[in-house]
Structure 1
Amino acid sequence: MKIIQVTDLHLVTPGETLCGLDPLARLQACIADINQNHSDAELVIFTGDLSETGEDVTYRALANELAKLVPPFRLMLGNHDNRIAFLNVFGTARSEDGFVHGVEDTAEGRLVMLDTLLPGKPEGRLDDVRMHWLQARLEEAKDRPVFLFSHHPPFPIHMPLLDRMGIIEADALYALLQRHGNVRHIFAGHAHRPIAGSWRGIPVSVLRGTNHQSALDFSPDRIAVTHEPPAYAVIFIDCNGVIAHFHDFLDQSAAYR
Structure 2
Amino acid sequence: MIAHGVRHLVQISDLHVGETRQHRLAGICTYDSFSKILADISARGDYADMMMVTGDVAAEGKHSAYRLFSEQVRFFEIPYAWLPGNHDDFAVMQSGFISSPYWPLLELGHWRVLSLNTAVPGQVGGRLEPEELAFLEQSLRAEPESPFVIFMHHPPMPVGCDWLDKQRISNADDFEGIVRAAGNVKALFTGHVHQEFSAQWAGCPVYTTPSTCFQFAAESEGFAMSDGMPGYRWIDLHPDGRIKTGVRHLTDIEHRVDHALAGY
Instruction: Give the TM-score of the pair, scaled to structure 2.
Output: 0.88
Structure 2: state its 5+ residue gaps.
Answer: 1-6, 254-264
Instruction: Give the TM-score of the pair, scaled to structure 1.
Output: 0.90
Report how far residue 11 of structure 1 moved.
Answer: 0.8
1:12 aligns with 2:18: yes
1:107 aligns with 2:99: no
Q: Is the 8 A contact 1:155 1:199 kept in 2?
A: yes
Moved beyond 3 Å, runs of 4+: none
1:245 aligns with 2:246: yes
* Equivalent position SS for 1:213: coil
Q: In the TM superposition, what whole-angstrom CA distance separates every residue of 1:133-186 from its partner, at most 9, and x where no partner exists?
A: 111211222221110111100111121211110111100001011111111001
Amino acid at match of 1:76: L
CA RMSD, 1 decimal: 1.6
What residue number does 1:93 align with? 101
Percent identity for Structure 1 against Structure 2: 25
Amino acid at match of 2:231: A
How many residues are paired up?
244
What residue number does 2:169 align with? 167
Decide whether aligned partners of structure 1 residues 230 and 62 sit closer, same or farther in structure 2, where only a CA change above 3 A counts. same
Q: In the TM superposition, what whole-angstrom CA distance separates every residue of 1:43-63 from its partner, at most 9, and x where no partner exists?
A: 100011101111001000001
Equivalent position to 2:36, from 9, 29, 41: 29
Rounded Cα–Cα distance in structure 2 between residues aligned with 1:164 and 1:48: 18
Amino acid at match of 1:241: R
1:151 aligns with 2:159: no
Rounded Cα–Cα distance in structure 1 between residues aligned with 2:124 and 2:49: 31
Equivalent position to 1:134, from 133, 136, 144: 136
Amino acid at match of 2:245: A
Report how far residue 17 of structure 1 moved.
Answer: 0.9
Amino acid at match of 1:243: K
Decide whether aligned partners of structure 1 residues 132 and 59 sit closer, same or farther in structure 2, where only a CA change above 3 A counts. same
Q: Is the 8 A contact 2:8 2:236 kept in 1?
A: yes
Amino acid at match of 2:24: T
Amino acid at match of 2:133: M
